[in-house]
Chain A
Amino acid sequence: MDLPEYRWLKTLTYLLLTLGLVPMLLPFLWMVSSAFKTLPEVMQVPPTWFPKQPILENFVAVFTQFPFARYILNSVAVAAIVVFGVTIVSAMAGYAFSKFTFPGRDVLFIAMLASLMVPFQVRMIPLYLMSIKFRLVDTIAGLSFPWLFDAFGIFLMRQFMQTIPTELIEAARIDGASELRIFWTILLPLVKPALAALGIFTLVGNWEEFLWPLIVTTSDASRTIPVGLQRFSEQYMSNIHWQMAAATVAVTPLIIAFLLFQRQFIQGIALTGLKD
């Protein structure tokens, strides 16, 4: 919005934008500050904004009372499988839909896209029963498989690949390049931004997936950060200082990744729109 001759409005804008940041960031401030407090200080009224004597014991407790490292590892494993799987599967399908002609192509594409309207909640019971049948309950594979197909990813990839000139591919074919080679060395590098956007979008969604892990995990062997965190809080319900330390540990990795790759994150979300 352009406000050339409304100087006071500009000042007001800065004021509002800065004031608005307070509620956006207060929870983080509160979380980090409480994570370094003792329990009595956490429960103090009126509250203290900064710990009188910062302590690290809460973080020690998080890692010793609970296999938190394991949860992080599980989360990373699931996220890696899903991000890798979704980007590859979507890129391959997007390639087929955009650069090949075959019978039933458009029907299939529309059918896959229509699955965007099928919420996970409809499928979760059959998916759970399938997990039981194939012994996927409480495994990393069981946590990952429902997310490997992403209609949105295919749509995005197809849109991107349509902008790539077909002549480029034809030329490579004439030069005798195999289809796999064309896909891997010509196509993928050209759609990198879209791949990254899709990957980040998938990562952000998967990192905080809660409902499915809640259903399908039964031991620490497969628990991811969100369900591990929830269990931690239910067991130590009044140990707020530990909860805040655990929360701090849980949010830090992705926030750091975000600060490092800000542009990509924001593009990723802008391109796709977060699902859940």
Chain B
Amino acid sequence: MSRFFSFLCIFFLCLSFQGYGQKKDKKQSDDVIESSLKISDLCKREESVEKIKADVTPFKLDKISTQKIHYKSYSQVVEFAVPIYHSTKYKFIINSEGMPTNVDIRLSDKPHKQSSAKILKESSDKHLSYESPEDYSGTRIYVTIKIPADKEYQNDVRNRGCIVIGSGYSDLDF
């Protein structure tokens, strides 16, 4: 019985040293990948925020949210759901000046994958604004953004950027 226990102990000790060795190798290999990548981030959040603040007038600034985007070797579609309330009229401003390429932006009343989604606005402008109609009955506005594939991706370049979404509202008792 005691031999069995000794064997079990030695077995697990060997297993643990092997695991530790493999982990060390993986870490070294990750370090090599990290040092060989060239990261380029064009996000200019503060500049975008200032432009949104200037454009939100005469609506009251409600919220500014920054979405970080990492380019890929393939094109991507990202979608955001912005909650809105019936008692309020909204203005949305989407600034993509912190992106290394142009992006296609679409605002709709339902997620873009739903066939009944109604397109409210479509543009590839770097600074886009949209005011919700007073009779808008939904409780979300969907912002869908198509990001092109990154041609530099295969050359170990990682392009990054950000899209800043701002919203303002009116008709509230301030």
| A and B are interacting partners | no
Interface of A with B (CB < 8 Å)?
A: none
